[in-house]
Structures are given as C-alpha cells and as structure tokens.
C-alpha cells in the first residue's frame, strides 16, 4: 500500500521535532493511526488544523516504513463549540482518552468511529448537556467492547445494586434507580442519533455519570479523571426525564 485516504477525528496532537506534529487520528476506514504532519506548526501552514483536537477531517497520507505522513487534508467539521466551554473540553478529553485506550483496531473500530463522530458533534452543539453525553458515551463504548449486559423487567421505582465489575446485581454494590437502569438499556441498544438526543433529569445525570465512570475504570483498569477539573466549578443541568 503506497498511501491511504480516509475521514477521521483528531484525538490528540503533540509536538514532534521543530515544527512537526504527531497526530492520533481515529479513522473511519483504518482505525486509530498516528500521522506525522510536517511543518504544521509553522505560521501560515495549510496543515495548521492538524494541531487542533476533536475536529473531523479528511486526510490523504503516504506510507513509508510503516509510518503515515500527511500529504493533504481538510476540515469537515470543526466542532468549535467544544472550545468555548471548559465542561465540554474536559468531556471531549475524556472521550479522546477512552477511544485511544480501547481496542479500536479490532473489527469494532467502525462502530467506535461512528460513536466518536456523534459524541464530539453533540458535545459541540450542546455543551451544557455534558454529563448526559458523558454517561451515554461511556456505556455505548463499553457495549461496543462487550462489557455490558441488558437488564430485563426493570421496575422504574426500584433501586438496583449493580456491580461495577460485571454489571450483575449484588447486595453489596452501589444502588441506582430503576429509571437509570432503563437508561443504561437505552444507551446500549438505541441508534446513535437517539443516544445523544436523550434527556435525563439532574438526579439521573449524577448517578449515571458516577456509575458509568466507575464501571469504565474497572473494565479498562484505569482511572479516568478528566472531569475532576470541574469539581470546584458551579454547574447546571437541563433536560427532562427519560421515558
């Protein structure tokens, strides 16, 4: 293979040598790749966009000795709304970290790419809903990776004690409401368009944010603390109950 062309999402961009960048791109066709963007740190460079994370881009790359080198590229969606909100920036950083950590080079990388495209766009359009989008993303990524289960015959008014190690019901586990358990089922099975359109009340937002993060940390064996920067900030929630 002499080269590739694909649509992708910039997850991370870091300095390399003088004016070059090494850019982690989750592509629609090839999974996660690292692209060397030469000269993109120079003032006026046509490839300066490769320094900005969370954008959807089209790229053409050459391949030499197993490395990808940017030949051409353009912005498809800049997701600019993320950059105007500290909450959105923290949440987007969490999305990117999880996507880079997960096994997206497997046969499931196309699903991960589609999830990422919807997640970053939805966050850019409505940053105030970051807690709902955070929980929905976490649970769907875990579902793609095969770590979740579907809960049958959920009673909305009941409390359920779900284990973060496997999702099973245990008497010593932390409790969440039946309404939140129904939301987990929805996150796991709905279309991606429906996934990020869901609205949760503030109580559900908080318990699902905590539960999905703890579950994610347990399954991926890593602490995810991107939202900890927001702990001292005043935050507001909007939305209505999920049906």
- pLDDT per residue as tens digits for the range 26-42: 999 999 999 999 988 78
User: Between residues 64 and 134, which one has the greater pLDDT?
Assistant: 134
**Is the model's pLDDT at 53 over the cut of 50?**
yes
Nearest alpha carbon to residue 92 among 142, 49, 130, 125: 130
Where residue 138 falls among pLDDT bands split at 50, 70, 90? very high
Percent of residues, the chain, with pLDDT higher than 70: 92
Please state the rounded mean pLDDT for residues 168-197. 91
User: Apex CA 132: angle with CA 126 and CA 136, to 5°?
Assistant: 110
Close Cβ partners of 160 (under 8 Å, ≥ 6 residues apart)? 151, 154, 169, 175, 176, 177, 178, 181
Model pLDDT, residue 236: 46
User: Between residues 234 and 123, which one has the greater pLDDT?
Assistant: 123
**Is the model's pLDDT at 105 over the cut of 90?**
no
Domains of the chain (ranges; CATH) run: 3-77 (2.40.50.140), 80-230 (1.20.1440.120)
Model pLDDT, residue 106: 61
User: Between residues 242 and 155, which one has the greater pLDDT?
Assistant: 155
**Is the model's pLDDT at 23 over the cut of 70?**
yes
**Is the model's pLDDT at 190 over the cut of 50?**
yes
Mean pLDDT of the chain: 90
- Measured between alpha carbons, how far is residue 95 from residues 134, 155, 216 in Å? 8, 31, 12
Model pLDDT, residue 240: 38
Model pLDDT, residue 16: 85
Q: How far, rounded to the nearest angstrom, does the alpha carbon of residue 205 sit from its chain's CA centroid? A: 17
Model pLDDT, residue 103: 59
CA 120 – CA 160 distance, rounded (Å): 31
């Amino acid at each position: 293979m002499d080269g590739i062309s694909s649509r992708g999402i910039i997850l991370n961009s870091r300095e390399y040598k003088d004016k070059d960048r090494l850019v982690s791109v989750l592509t629609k066709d090839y999974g996660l790749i690292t692209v060397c963007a030469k000269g993109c740190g120079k003032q006026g460079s046509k490839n300066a966009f490769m320094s900005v994370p969370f954008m959807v881009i089209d790229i053409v790359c050459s391949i030499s000795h197993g490395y990808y080198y940017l030949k051409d590229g353009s912005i498809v969606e800049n997701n600019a709304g993320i950059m105007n909100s500290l909450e959105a920036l923290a949440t987007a950083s969490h999305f990117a970290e999880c996507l880079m950590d997960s096994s997206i080079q497997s046969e499931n990388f196309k699903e991960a790419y589609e999830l990422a495209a919807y997640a970053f766009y939805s966050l850019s359009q409505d940053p105030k809903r970051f807690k709902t989008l955070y929980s929905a993303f976490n649970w769907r990524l875990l579902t793609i990776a095969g770590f979740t289960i579907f809960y049958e015959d959920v009673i909305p008014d009941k409390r359920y004690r779900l284990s973060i190690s496997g999702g099973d019901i245990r008497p010593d586990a932390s409790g969440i409401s039946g309404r939140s358990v129904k939301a987990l089922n929805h996150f796991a099975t709905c279309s991606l368009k429906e996934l990020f359109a869901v609205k949760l009340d503030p109580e559900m937002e908080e318990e699902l944010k905590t539960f999905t993060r703890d579950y994610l940390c347990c399954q991926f064996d890593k602490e995810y603390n991107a939202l900890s920067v927001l702990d001292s900030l005043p935050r507001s929630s909007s939305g209505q109950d999920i049906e």
